[in-house]
């Protein structure tokens, strides 16, 4: 009997190889059956196919039939958002299980252990010293790795514990808040009478002792963290209740990053809303016609020179805030291969919020329509394309730091930012 040629301790190890292979095969198959998403897909594609995400989409469709003041609509909007977050958590959890448990189990059952069993057959046929040494080495290797193999199942339980912990904490926090908001008629926050939205830029900056308006700075910081690769940022609308809540928080400068960073489209919507509600556009009424004349210049060098002249004519506060915003938009356009937001696309969706004419009545409607046309793109697009040349002061330190972090660490969408809070 070839087994008699093995050392006594290896005989015990040998008896564990076949059961280990069967356990790995069976449990790999059963665990695959527990997964809700298709193997091999990235987190976003997995999420779209999950039942929780389909439920979120259905909620979004259902709430459209309600008026804006309906309590059912408000609750559905929040539920839609929460189900989307749960789907994202589940997709992230299943990606980890696939990488850290399923793939190692598959390799163990299909590659590593079958190779040992193959050598066992060879050993049984040819009981030479050479074969004995090779097979013994396989068994010793298995013995040293057995604890590592057992850890695959411990890691599964750890991942399940983390997933359920984060889901439970997320639900507890948001359900409590939803109940509180649903039970009262008053606005979400009544900390003071001070407002930011709809107020003149200079008035807000002087009262808050800021250089950059709170909605611009806070929204840019949140988007730099989690929104740079979000497809259609500033173009796709978010739930109106989430945007309204964020605007209320920004009005009182009490923003919870962990709450709103999870929905980049809501953050982008709040930023657009601030720019649109300014009594005067960042690029001013006075220079309205001059911007279009500069944009119509055919020679690129001359065009940029005219832009520089106009930028110097802006009030310092307008210039600082426009510079801050445009530098961020330039960074956003650098990710256009993923987010689909080219300088032109950004100009289309944000242009009418940066530049519009001073007018009243029907003339105002006509001019606003004109400012929303191709003309405004020709004004805003060069600002984004040549921001480094037009704004030589350089990027603010915090913006640069957040940008570097988002580029090099590439977090899995906004859900990982929420997880990091815990």
15-62 tens-digit pLDDT: 676 777 777 778 878 888 888 887 878 777 888 888 988 898 888 888
Thinking of the domain 2-182, which architecture would CATH place it in?
Answer: Up-down Bundle (1.20)
Question: What is the model's pLDDT at position 198?
Answer: 92
Instruction: Name the pTM for this structure.
Output: 0.54
Give the 3-state secondary structure of residue 255.
coil
Question: What is the model's pLDDT at position 195?
Answer: 80
Per-residue confidence at 422, pLDDT binned at 50, 70, 90? very low
What's the CA gap between 36 and 55, in Å, rounded? Answer: 14
Cβ contacts of residue 256 below 8 Å, gap of 6+?
249
Percent of the chain with pLDDT over 90: 34
- pLDDT (tens digit, 9 = 90+) per residue, 316-368? 999 999 999 999 999 999 999 999 999 999 999 999 999 999 875 445 544 55
Pick from 283, 277, 303: nearest CA to 382: 303
Kindly provide the residue ranges of all beta strands, DSSP E only, lying in 36-75, ordered along the sequence: none
Residue the block writes with tokens 């979120």: 56
Question: What is the model's pLDDT at position 367?
Answer: 52
Question: Which CATH number does 201-421 carry?
Answer: 1.10.555.10
Cβ contacts of residue 180 below 8 Å, gap of 6+?
none
User: Domain extents for the chain?
Assistant: 2-182, 201-421
Residue the block writes with tokens 């390799």: 107
Q: Identify whether the C-beta of residue 322 lies closer than 8 Å to the C-beta of residue 218.
A: no
Pick from 326, 334, 332, 342: nearest CA to 384: 326
What's the CA gap between 223 and 267, in Å, rounded? Answer: 7
What's the CA gap between 147 and 315, in Å, rounded? Answer: 68
Helix residue ranges, H only, 183-213: 201-208
Question: What is the model's pLDDT at position 416?
Answer: 42
Q: Is the pLDDT of residue 124 over 60?
A: no
What's the CA gap between 355 and 276, in Å, rounded? Answer: 9
Question: What is the model's pLDDT at position 166?
Answer: 87
Q: What's the chain's average pLDDT?
A: 80
Asked, colleague to colleague, whether 2-182 and 201-421 share their fold, the answer is: no
Lowest mean pLDDT among 145-159, 170-184, 204-218, 338-352: 170-184
HSE-CB of 68 using CA atoms within 13 angstroms: 5
- pLDDT (tens digit, 9 = 90+) per residue, 394-418? 887 677 666 666 554 444 444 443 3
């Amino acid at each position: 009997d070839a087994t008699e040629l093995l050392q006594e301790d290896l005989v015990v190890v040998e008896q564990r190889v076949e059961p280990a292979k069967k356990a790995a095969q069976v449990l790999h198959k059963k665990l695959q059956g527990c997964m809700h998403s298709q193997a091999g897909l990235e987190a976003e594609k997995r999420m779209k196919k999950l039942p929780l995400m389909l439920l979120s989409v259905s909620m979004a469709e259902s709430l459209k039939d309600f008026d804006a003041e309906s309590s059912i609509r408000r609750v559905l909007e929040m539920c839609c958002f929460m189900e989307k977050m749960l789907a994202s958590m589940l997709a992230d959890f299943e990606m980890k299980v696939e990488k850290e448990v399923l793939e190692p189990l598959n390799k163990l059952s299909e590659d590593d252990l079958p190779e040992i069993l193959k050598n066992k057959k060879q050993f049984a046929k040819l009981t030479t010293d050479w074969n004995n040494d090779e097979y013994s080495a396989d068994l010793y290797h298995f013995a040293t790795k057995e604890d590592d193999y057992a850890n695959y199942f411990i890691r599964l339980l750890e991942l399940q514990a983390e997933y359920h912990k984060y889901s439970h904490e997320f639900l507890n926090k948001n359900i409590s808040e939803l109940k509180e908001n649903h039970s009262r008629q008053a606005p979400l926050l009544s900390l003071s009478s001070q407002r930011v939205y709809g107020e003149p830029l200079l008035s807000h900056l002087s009262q808050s002792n800021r250089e950059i308006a709170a909605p611009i700075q806070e929204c840019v910081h949140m988007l730099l963290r989690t929104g740079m690769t979000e497809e259609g940022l500033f173009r796709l609308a978010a739930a109106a209740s989430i945007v309204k809540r964020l605007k209320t928080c920004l009005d009182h400068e009490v923003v919870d990053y962990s709450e709103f960073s999870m929905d980049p489209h809501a953050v982008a919507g709040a930023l657009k809303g601030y720019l649109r509600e300014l009594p005067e556009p960042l690029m001013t009424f006075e220079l309205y016609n001059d911007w279009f004349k500069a944009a119509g210049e055919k020679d690129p060098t001359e065009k940029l020179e005219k832009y520089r002249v106009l930028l110097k004519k802006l009030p310092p506060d307008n210039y600082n805030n426009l510079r801050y915003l445009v530098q961020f938009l330039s960074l956003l356009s650098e990710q256009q291969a993923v987010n689909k937001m080219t300088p032109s696309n950004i100009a289309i969706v944000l242009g009418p919020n940066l530049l519009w004419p001073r007018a009243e009545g029907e003339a105002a409607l006509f001019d606003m329509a004109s400012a929303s046309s191709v003309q405004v793109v020709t004004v805003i697009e060069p600002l984004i394309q040549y921001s480094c040349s037009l704004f030589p002061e350089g990027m603010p330190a915090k913006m640069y730091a957040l940008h570097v972090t988002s580029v090099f660490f590439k977090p899995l969408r906004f859900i990982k930012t929420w997880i990091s809070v815990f």
